[in-house]
């Protein structure tokens, strides 16, 4: 029998509200699997759960690291693993909810993170390529090998780009390694929507972020000293706002860029999640009530 629940899907599909309702139904606590929500002070652009949602159910792995600090999937697995152990020890159900595929994979499946030291010969080769063909070319290689990592690293930060390429090399057989890990035995649920509906929801979300004060949030982070050199600020919504504050484009152009980049990210997320053939797919309709979907998830988990 499953001891936990994983609710995954593309951005804006409706994971948060459904996860909260599911957790209420099964006596659970939520583990966020979002690579931006882990940072403190990145609330609006990360679509952090509302104060009401946070009050309804205990949440973990939200705001656990300062935005100046890099944070890896290895560190996430370690920190989230401790939270999961604590939840299970109290007789509660871990409900993992999020859209960062690498985070979810690290909790559910066996994953060899490799050693802490990089391969010097591989690093030297990428440094040689950068010297001969330029940083942009090496960054292009990272986009091909690991687009999710590329989104979080500035193209000019050659050291981090090469480190990410080293990690991507270690994961070259990643998609084929689907052996369940020992951390937990979850029931997997993949939430999807028709493209037109998801695009509409993305547009609404981005417009809502603007009204909630995304620009002001980024301005405060800039005053704190954050810039494109920090991984946390390369998340969608933050990097575009930084460009706007630099004067690279207008407010309207910034909003449109955020929407376009979010749609593209949602598409990549679905490509990632479709590899999980054992997941129970739930194709949501605009008319579906959160309570009904949550009841379906909870019933499946309970074996009813």
pLDDT digits (tens, 9 = 90+) for 30-61: 999 999 999 999 999 999 999 999 999 999 99
Residues 158 and 285 in one domain: no
pLDDT digits (tens, 9 = 90+) for 98-122: 999 889 998 998 776 654 444 566 7
Q: CATH number of the domain that 160 lies in?
A: 1.10.20.140
Cα 103 to Cα 56: distance, rounded to the nearest angstrom: 24
Residues 127 and 256 in one domain: no
Instruction: Residue 153: give the domain boundaries.
Output: 120-170
Q: What is the pLDDT of residue 137?
A: 78
Residues 18 and 148 in one domain: no
Residues 213 and 282 in one domain: yes
For the whole model, what pTM was predicted? 0.83
- Count up the domains in the chain and report the number: 2
Does some domain include residue 14? Answer: yes
Does some domain include residue 177? Answer: no
Q: What is the pLDDT of residue 230?
A: 84
pLDDT digits (tens, 9 = 90+) for 57-73: 999 999 999 999 878 78
| pLDDT < 50 positions in the chain | 115-118, 171-176
């Amino acid at each position: 029998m499953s001891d936990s629940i994983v609710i995954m899907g593309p951005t804006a599909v409706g994971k948060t509200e459904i996860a909260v309702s599911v957790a209420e139904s099964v006596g659970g606590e939520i583990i966020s699997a979002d690579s931006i929500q882990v940072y403190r002070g990145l609330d609006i652009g990360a679509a952090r759960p509302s104060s009401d949602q946070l009050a309804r159910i205990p949440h973990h792995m939200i705001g656990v690291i300062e935005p100046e600090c890099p944070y890896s999937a290895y560190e996430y697995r370690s920190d989230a693993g401790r939270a999961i152990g604590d939840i299970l020890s109290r007789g509660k159900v871990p409900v993992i909810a999020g859209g960062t595929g690498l985070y979810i994979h690290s909790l559910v499946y066996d994953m060899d993170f490799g050693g802490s030291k990089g391969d010097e010969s591989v690093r030297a080769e990428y440094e040689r390529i950068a010297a001969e063909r330029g940083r942009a070319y090496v960054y292009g290689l990272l986009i091909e090998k690991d687009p999710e990592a590329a989104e979080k690293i500035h193209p000019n930060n050659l050291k981090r780009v090469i480190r990410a390429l080293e990690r991507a090399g270690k994961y070259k057989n990643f998609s084929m390694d689907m052996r369940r890990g020992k951390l937990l035995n979850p029931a997997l649920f993949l939430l999807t929507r028709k493209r037109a509906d998801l695009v509409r929801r993305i547009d609404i979300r981005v417009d809502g972020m603007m009204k909630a004060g995304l620009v002001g949030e980024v301005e405060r982070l800039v005053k704190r000293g954050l810039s494109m050199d920090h991984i946390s600020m390369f998340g969608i919504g933050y990097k575009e706002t930084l460009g706007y504050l630099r004067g690279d484009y207008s407010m309207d152009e910034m909003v449109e860029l955020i929407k376009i980049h979010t749609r593209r990210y949602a598409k990549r997320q679905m490509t990632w999640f479709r590899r999980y053939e054992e997941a129970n797919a739930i194709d949501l309709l605009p008319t579906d009530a959160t309570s009904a979907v949550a009841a379906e998830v909870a019933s499946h988990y309970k074996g009813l």
